[in-house]
Amino acid sequence: MTTPTVPTLEALAKGDVIVSETRSFSRDTLVRYAGASGDFNPIHYNDAFAHEVGLPSVIAHGMLTMGTVITPVLEWLGDPGPLVSYETRFTRPIEVPALEAVDVEIEATVGLLKPEDGTARIDITASVNGQKVLTKCRAVVKLA
């Protein structure tokens, strides 16, 4: 097994797409995440409750979404990844159908390079059916 090479600033340019992939959520994903995180809010597993509180259906956990979206960037960085910071704003809930999975399209691009401190800002787009579910989603990484 080979260890991934950590990217360097010199190998990157603003606008480079570093990640483009799809991750899927199913109700099974939500149940597993609830068990791991301890977040058993019924909006994540009970359709009737979700409707009662004004949601169209069960929705994915925000932290599950946030963690899933950064994962391909962390995989690109290698282990241990030199992640300095990560932030986002939740703009649209991800509805997860009862018997199907929902696909989250993830694309990460180089948004800013700062050679003076060895960092790069990675801008991440996450969307479902062409609609963004996160905005101002960005990670700052320290590269050689």
pLDDT score for 71? 95
pLDDT reading at 1 higher than 50: no
In the structure, what pLDDT confidence band is assigned to residue 5 with cuts at 50, 70 and 90? low
pLDDT reading at 144 higher than 70: yes
Helix (H) or strand (E) holding 118: none
For 31-89, what is each residue's pLDDT tens digit?
Answer: 999 999 999 999 999 999 999 999 999 999 999 999 999 999 999 998 666 899 999 99
The 3-state secondary structure of 54-108 reads CCCCCECCHHHHHHHHHHHHHHHHCCCCCEEEEEEEECCCCECCCCCCEEEEEEE
The per-residue pLDDT of the chain, averaged, comes to 94
pLDDT reading at 110 higher than 50: yes
High-pLDDT (> 90) share of the chain, %: 88
| Domains located in the chain, CATH noted | 9-24+61-142 (3.10.129.10)
pLDDT reading at 2 higher than 60: no
